[in-house]
């Protein structure tokens, strides 16, 4: 890690998107769209796959987007030959409903320790309005 970059293994957008094909992430149309020095950003459509019956973005889908980003980020901050990161706790607050378009999620590292990480989470709509916020705590464990 140098120059403010946190990555032990540099994330690759194409590889991350291929990795999620055929999973819940892929089925919901989530795609990784940006890598920063200390964050990952992705987007998810607000459509029939991600809405609840009242025509709004489903809270669980919003959380899935954020947890996907934070988990992918966390696992790029450790040596994959010897460690993996697993989620310990996630909390989210839903602040605004989304009815169409995309939500854009960002997971940014707040703390990277020897045995745990904390990631700050934000979902915004395409107009930049806050949809949900949260935090994910991950445990860094030795690879089984």
Give the integer Cα–Cα distance in Å for 87 and 71.
Answer: 7
Buried b (16+ CB within 10 A) or exposed e, 37-73: ebbbbbbbbbeeebbeeeeebbeebbbbbbbbbbbbb
The residue annotated as part of the active site, out of 10, 14, 21, 67, is: 67
34 included as an active-site residue = no
Give the integer Cα–Cα distance in Å for 86 and 82.
Answer: 14
119 burial type by CB count under 10 A (0-12 exposed, 13-18 middle, 19+ buried): buried
3 burial type by CB count under 10 A (0-12 exposed, 13-18 middle, 19+ buried): exposed
Enumerate the active-site residues: 67
């Amino acid at each position: 890690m140098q120059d403010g970059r946190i990555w032990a293994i540099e994330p690759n957008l194409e590889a991350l998107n291929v990795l999620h094909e055929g999973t819940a992430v892929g089925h919901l149309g989530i795609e990784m769209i940006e890598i920063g020095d200390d964050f990952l950003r992705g987007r998810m459509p607000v459509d029939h796959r991600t809405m609840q019956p009242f025509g709004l973005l489903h809270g669980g889908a919003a959380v899935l987007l954020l947890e996907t980003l934070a988990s992918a980020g966390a696992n790029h901050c450790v040596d994959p030959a010897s460690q993996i990161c697993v989620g310990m706790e996630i909390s989210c607050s839903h602040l605004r409903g989304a009815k169409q378009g995309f939500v854009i999620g960002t997971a940014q590292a707040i703390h990277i320790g020897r045995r745990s990480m904390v990631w700050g989470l934000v979902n915004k709509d395409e107009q930049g309005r806050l949809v949900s916020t949260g935090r994910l705590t991950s445990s860094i464990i030795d690879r089984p």
